[in-house]
Amino acid sequence: MRRILIVMALALAVAAPFLLAGQSYYSGLLAYAAVLAIFGLSINLTVGYLGLISFGHAAFFGLGAYVAGLAIVNFGVNYWVTLLFAPIPAALLGALVGFASVRLGGAYFAIATLTTAEILRLVVSNWIDLTRGPLGLIVRRPRVETLESLGLVFHQYYLLATLLGLGLAVLIVHRLLESPTGRSWKVIRESNALAESIGIPTMRQRVMAIALSGGLAGFAGVLFIPRTLVLTPDLFNPMLSATGLLIAILGGKGTLIGPLLGGAIFAALPETLRFVDEYRIAIFALILLAVIRIQPAGLAPLFHLTRPFRTPGAPAKGGEIAFEPSPRLVVTDLTKRFGGLTAVDNVSMTIEPGELVGIIGPNGAGKTTCLSLISGFTPPTAGEIRYGERKVTGDSPSSLVNEGLARTFQQAALCGSQTVFENVLAATSCPEPASLLSSVLRGPGWRAREARRVRRAWECLAFVGLTERAALEAGSLPYGEQKMLAIAVSLATQPRLLMLDEPAAGLNHTEANRLADLLRSLRQRGLTIVLVDHNLRMMMALCDRIIVLDRGRLIAQGTPAEIQADKAVIAAYLGGYTAEEAQNA
């Protein structure tokens, strides 16, 4: 059905210039809608998929148009050739703006894009020698004589070019969204920490997405030239940025079809409201406000134009899961101070390959901070962490996950609005990454890797007993199953050493027993495990060795029997009770 729709859309795009042969007005309007849709698609990449609002996407649109215009006017480059290179500076500008701002947070990205557009507007306004400033750069209408000799007129082949451009943009974005790249964008949108914890280099992925978004906006700017033929500083106007933003939001942000709907509406509505003269902009604004108020998710869901996720591949058995042996983890004199509070105080420990080590201690003892330090989420104040031969102190969480050092969080970190399967699939790109280009081209190598990713996701789900839940929204699962899913997500990164932070918290007796069986099984399959939990009965039964922290200091370590008999532990942690008594208290 989907293929039929795609073929029909393509056939219609090719037929449109002929169907509108004598209708240069409507043909121009449709071409304009296609340009706006590409612009909307570009903004949708940041707003819809990364969750980053842009107030200045006109910067990229205008830059693409000006680079092409200057190449045409000053160097006599053929307009159609500029479509190939003029979007590149816009992509590079996107990368630069993204790199400079996203580390600081979403608001900074919005400000950075707005400022960039304003700087470019001032530059083109004042660099009169180059751009003719407000007088505008005049570009001659591009012609294709070969097509004209075949009987086509300008508005027909311009429409064809914009529709093919739109088709190409949709294809690229669609393929990226259904690849490790797009999946990682959606996880980043949900939570940066979650993305890092499954091995996604969040900074690189964001910069890449913003660069792509800038390039697409630049492409739309180049396609806009034949419609305007005069390039003025107004191309960098905040109104244009706002238009692009509204196209994405009104159409349905985070959907592929939304910007197409939005583009069509923004091209057609101001024109159809011409009869109300100077009130048309105000009426248009009112319609927009009403739609956004009544249908905040945009128009796409209203027409059932968003496609539900279909679970790919076939369920697998979890029995095949195996892990590569972990190197030794050596922590030396690790210290973390938060202002005057020393949360971790000179802790040294070694985790041997294949061990299941428990870390226990009263509330506030520093257990979670310890995991956060080792997994790279919190920079240590002092001390050293070595994983195998490598010193990994200060490495980013995602690079550690790629080394095989993964962790889970106290509260199950999941993408609640995505399916159970999507959550696990997103984590499989850690052992099986894919480049941007390979995801667009989808050669045999990419397809084989994707099949392995899908298989791995099914295996991990089967292992934790969630195969039947694959198509459900992760947020709709009961708490215990969400915790199991979080473990499956970590397993999908193919860890060698997994650190679990309170996996049994909130589980009932049966669920905790299941968890214990699962951890035993993981260990038998070669996974090294560090387990932080308050469920002492489980910890004593499960762990080879237990480390006890109290007020940031390591006060004891040994076998469960040794720990239960340790006087310092009984005093500090169990309040003078034995482990058995404390558990039953």
Ligand X SMILES: Nc1ncnc2c1ncn2[C@@H]1O[C@H](COP(=O)(O)OP(=O)(O)OP(=O)(O)O)[C@@H](O)[C@H]1O
**Residues that bind ligand X in the complex, under the rule CB under 6 A:** 338, 341, 343, 361, 363-369
Nearer to ligand X, 280 or 337 (CB): 337
- Spatial neighbors of 282 by CB under 8 A, at least 6 apart, are none
CB of 129 to ligand X, least distance (A): 54
Q: Please give the single-letter amino acid code of residue 430.
A: C
CB of 532 to ligand X, least distance (A): 7
Nearer to ligand X, 336 or 449 (CB): 336
Nearer to ligand X, 343 or 540 (CB): 343
Return the H-helix or E-strand segment holding 304: none
At 471, is the secondary structure helix, strand, or coil?
coil
Q: Please give the single-letter amino acid code of residue 354.
A: G
CB of 350 to ligand X, least distance (A): 20
CB of 498 to ligand X, least distance (A): 17
CB of 340 to ligand X, least distance (A): 10
Nearer to ligand X, 367 or 545 (CB): 367
Q: Identify the CA nearest to 214 among candidates 415, 375, 351, 52.
A: 52
CB of 365 to ligand X, least distance (A): 4
Nearer to ligand X, 31 or 572 (CB): 572
CB of 333 to ligand X, least distance (A): 17
Q: How many CA atoms lie within 13 A of 428 on its CB side?
A: 20
CB of 374 to ligand X, least distance (A): 12
Q: Identify the CA nearest to 157 among candidates 37, 20, 8.
A: 20
Nearer to ligand X, 42 or 368 (CB): 368
Nearer to ligand X, 367 or 523 (CB): 367
295 by Cβ neighbours in 10 Å (0-12 / 13-18 / 19+) ranks as: middle
Phi-psi region of 526 (alpha: psi -120 to 50; beta: other; left: phi over 0): left
- Spatial neighbors of 16 by CB under 8 A, at least 6 apart, are 27, 30, 159, 160, 163
Nearer to ligand X, 207 or 365 (CB): 365
Please state, in angstroms and rounded to a whole number, the distance separating the CA atoms of residues 474 and 417. Answer: 6
Please state, in angstroms and rounded to a whole number, the distance separating the CA atoms of residues 223 and 397. Answer: 41
Please state, in angstroms and rounded to a whole number, the distance separating the CA atoms of residues 572 and 350. Answer: 23
